[in-house]
Amino acid sequence: MTLFGDFYFFIWAALLLVPAVVLGLTERPIKYYGAVVTAVFIYMAMGSSPKAIVNLIVYCLYQLILVNAYLSVNRRKPRNGLLYWVFIVLSVAPLGIWKISAFVTGHGIFAFLGLSYLTFKSVQVIIEIYDGLIKEVKPFDFLYFLTFFPCLSSGPIDRSRRFEGDLERRISRAEYAELLGNGLFKIVLGMAYKFALAAGFYQAITWLGSGGHMINHLVYMYSYGLYLFFDFAGYSLMAVGTSYILGIKSPDNFNKPFLATDMKDFWDRWHMSLSYWFRDFIFSRFMMKAIKGKWFKNKLTGAFVGFIINMGVMGVWHGLDIYYIIYGLYHGVLLAVTEIYQKKSKFHKKHKKERWYRFISWGITFNLAMFGFFIFSGKFTQLIGLNG
């Protein structure tokens, strides 16, 4: 069974979510039942590979021990830079080992469904302990946060303090009814996105996107970009909708990305839980250090480096293949250039609110984003002979 992917999942979800709805409408806490449903779905999704389940359990316990160890270390030596980095490295280590071993040997050590996304959730807890924002970690809440099945395999990436706030909050019947309505709507919309629209664009890629002509490549590029959007946005809508039914307001992942009028705006709308994670935990922190330490003479040079590092790491997170790295750097450069242009250009400042200017900006942004997906697909590097 595949989460949000096949008929059996939806049948089981329809059955297993009914008690959650009853709990919600009678104003009782859903979290313990939600944890049971999560365990059932993890078993069904990963049951064919017992090794993966063992890896997931080992991973979760390892991270639980790590955050608790760091809590007590940070209490004794608050905001110690070296210890902070030691724990960051330990927290990212399982993902690093898997990515590198998969890249080198073709089959990774310590793989399981959701490892990439779980890493974001684990590392941010370490970072927020360092910041003094997290002072205690409750084992049940932490494990439920990590494994919460709607967001397990592909996000959206939630924040632990927000998630735990939802677990503790009492939801009134009226509020739950609204949550349920919105949740069901998101699930239905997500199904239409993923199983109708994305599937349609996939056919376009298959039938019209192959062949050696320029026109084939263009069809491939645009239909791949749209396929990626409807597939992933559809998946995210279903995940968020299912979260709502379990009383968890998981963050939205997409907000009409193809209406963006510049690249910064695009990343405010595309895979938002990921780009906000990078903004809050990498870009902002790098920039704050750089500003405080006066690493760069010019503020915009610092921003340029910051964007490239930020998006470069984002690219590597997708995989060590050359096209993911180029994809990350491509977006890093675009963001940096956008930042400098918008801060420096008098032309931009003068016209930025005018209709024609916004229209042209939109057209450029849309095409730059589509070309980004073309790189992401691996097709671009294949065409220029870089895939090896």
Partner 1 sequence: MEDKILEMLEELCGDSVVREDVNINLLEEDLIDSLDYTELLVSIEDEFGIVMSPSEFTRDQMDTPAKIISQVKARMS
Q: 273: exposed, middle or buried (C-beta count within 10 Å: 0-12, 13-18, 19+)?
A: buried
Residue 128 or 164: the one with the smaller Cβ distance to partner 1 is 128
CB of 209 to partner 1, least distance (A): 35
Minimum CB separation of residue 269 from partner 1 in Å reads 13
Residue 159 is a binding residue for partner 1 (CB under 8 A): yes
217 tagged catalytic: no
Query: Shortest approach of partner 1 to residue 268 CB, angstroms?
Result: 9
> Nearer Cβ to partner 1, position 107 or 346?
346
Q: Long-range contacts made by residues 235-238, C-beta under 8 angstroms, separation at least 24?
A: 235/4, 235/154, 235/190, 235/194, 236/154, 236/155, 236/156, 236/190, 237/186, 237/187, 237/189, 237/190, 237/193, 238/4, 238/150, 238/186, 238/187, 238/190, 238/191, 238/194
Q: Which of residues 346-365 bind partner 1 (CB under 8 A)?
A: 352
Work out how close the CB of 250 gets to partner 1 at its nearest, in angstroms, rounded to a whole number: 14
Letter string b/e over residues 309-337, b meaning 16 or more CB atoms within 10 A of that residue's CB: bbbbebbbbbbebebbbbbbbbbbbbbbe
Q: Which of residues 111-150 bind partner 1 (CB under 8 A)?
A: 124, 127-128, 131-133
Please identify which residue in 65, 86, 288, 383 interacts with partner 1, judged by CB under 8 A. Answer: 288
User: Is the bond preceding 156 in cis, omega lying within 30 degrees of 0?
Assistant: yes
**Count of residues of this chain found to bind partner 1 when the rule CB under 8 A is applied:** 24
| Residue 259 makes contact with partner 1 by CB under 8 A | no
Are 362 and 259 within 8 A, CB to CB? yes
Number of Cβ atoms within 10 Å of the Cβ of 114? 23
- From 217, 271, 318, 351, active-site residue: 318
- Does residue 164 touch partner 1 according to CB under 8 A? no
Q: Which of 21, 280, 301, 319 binds partner 1 (CB under 8 A)?
A: 280
Q: Which residues bind partner 1 (CB under 8 A)?
A: 124, 127-128, 131-133, 159, 162, 264, 279-281, 283-285, 287-288, 291-292, 299, 303, 306, 339, 352
Catalytic residues: 318
